[in-house]
Amino acid sequence: MITGEIKSRVDRIWDTMWAGGISNPLSVVEQLTYLLFIKRLDEIEQREENKANRTGQYARARIFGENQQHLRWSRFNKIQPEQLFEVVRDEVFPFMKSLGEQVAEDCEGGSTYSHHMKDALFMMPTPRVLANVVDQLDEIDMADRDTKGDLYEYMLGKIASAGQNGQFRTPRHIIRLMVEMTAPTPADTICDPACGTAGYLVAAAEYLHDHHGDEIYRSEKSRRRYNESTFHGFDFDTTMLRIGSMNMLLHGVENPDIRYKDSLAESPEDDAGSYTLILANPPFAGSLDYETTARDLLQIVKTKKTELLFLALFLRLLKTGGRAAVIVPDGVLFGSSKAHKTIRRILVEDQKLDAVISMPSGVFKPYAGVSTAILLFTKTNSGGTDNVWFYDMRADGFSLDDKRTPQPDKTDLPDILKRWQNLKAETKRQRTDQSFLVPKDEIAGNDYDLSINRYKEVEYEAVEYDPPEVILERLVELEEEIARGRSELEQLLK
């Protein structure tokens, strides 16, 4: 867990860059990302040097050549600000951008991030700002894997404005809930087709590291699969790709498949049926033209709404038997258009819809106040829905206003996970409970409406009131008491 001291240091770094003229939060994160990447390259080189000292030879090609040693973090962080600025701007940045595929092949830390570095821009305004930031980053002990990841997550959390096209960050605790409910294994191939900062992939990596670490690192083959073949993320925002790749790298995943792709557009790549687990919170806002949308998605559901097209995409990307946990706006659950009903019918009749978790509207504040739900389903192409589990989430551990103040004593998340892991006990629950099961036939009879209010029963408590005569008698007594009090006050004033 990131400490208050590290948070304070990150805040000071943030303030330094802000005061130096970098006012866009995404630009701040991006510039810090580059510096962390430079630091990471030096750490990898140092690790390989230590190995070589023990074994007598290098296991892989060196990152820094003999005439490039001055480009290492541990060397340039000791020089004067003006010289530091020139070295980083004129040599270190071009060096990083030239690494490209060489680093991806030759060092464990290369990853797809090296590819995304080709578009990097050096934006540090002055030598003093750069030197100050380098000094402050150097003071933070990032030897621990979890500290690196938590530090970066904290930086991302400081981006306090929504992106374009309906993009906004999913709260980390909601991501963690979805990952724990799907329980990834080392055999999974995990995808987020709208990955943004790669929050879902990072959480899945943390889960695998914590629950299956021995299996992942048992052999070079299993370690390589974890680092190179398990995680796949797509986005059409190059800044997000750079940040997402670095996020994965700092969480210990060295070469994930993070790449540029407009997931809903026509693509020459045939990745249908490629993934066993999809975790996503796709963009909700806006609509697309039929001409720019993949034809195979329109064959599943003819619509211009991105939230419905993404559901069709998830079904196309999943292998048979693959599962998904995704966030959708409430409108998907009860929309009355033909497209809305079609996609819900497909989930219930042709696939296996497992659960609908209704979330309160404040979960995504301050980014948005939209009401959302988590859908969990399994691709079968042969049906299988018997009962759908509904849960009415009322609290997530934070206040539901724009401040999102922590309220650890008010959270349904542990209860959701506990009930999900013991669905047999849910058969005994009533419709007045916070969670319950609904048979498929009942859902089909309601036009495949998946809103929890359609099936939840509200229990009203009978309240008995006194007869009108008694209430009137009480009012007369009160009026008399008021008159006596006024009379006493008048006597005192005389």
Beta strands (DSSP E) in 281-351 are: 318-329
- pLDDT category at 61 given cuts 50, 70, 90 is low
- Give the relative orientation of helices 338-345 and 306-317 as an angle to the nearest 10 degrees: 20
Helix (H, G, I), strand (E, B) or coil at 257: strand
Are the CB atoms for 183 and 174 separated by under 8 Å?
Answer: no
Helical ranges in 140-198 per DSSP H: 145-157, 172-182
- pLDDT reported for residue 286: 63
Range picked from 51-55, 146-150, 365-369, 483-487 for highest mean pLDDT: 483-487
- CA distance linking residue 151 with residue 219, whole number of Å: 29
Domains and CATH numbers, the chain: 4-150 (1.20.1260), 163-194+263-454 (3.40.50.150)
Helix (H, G, I), strand (E, B) or coil at 354: strand
- CA distance linking residue 40 with residue 90, whole number of Å: 19
Helical ranges in 56-161 per DSSP H: 73-76, 81-87, 93-106, 113-116, 127-139, 145-157
Beta strands (DSSP E) in 9-66 are: none
- Please name which of 69, 75, 44, 70 lies closest in space to residue 58, comparing C-alpha atoms: 44
Residue 341, pLDDT > 70, answer yes
Residue 107, pLDDT > 50, answer no
Are the CB atoms for 73 and 119 separated by under 8 Å?
Answer: no
- CA distance linking residue 355 with residue 421, whole number of Å: 12
- pLDDT reported for residue 395: 94
- pLDDT reported for residue 108: 45
Pairing of strands 352-359, 318-329: unpaired
pLDDT higher at 101 or 144: 144
Are the CB atoms for 359 and 373 separated by under 8 Å?
Answer: yes
pLDDT in tens, 445-459: 999 999 999 999 877
Residue 333, pLDDT > 70, answer yes
- pLDDT category at 42 given cuts 50, 70, 90 is confident
- pLDDT reported for residue 94: 86
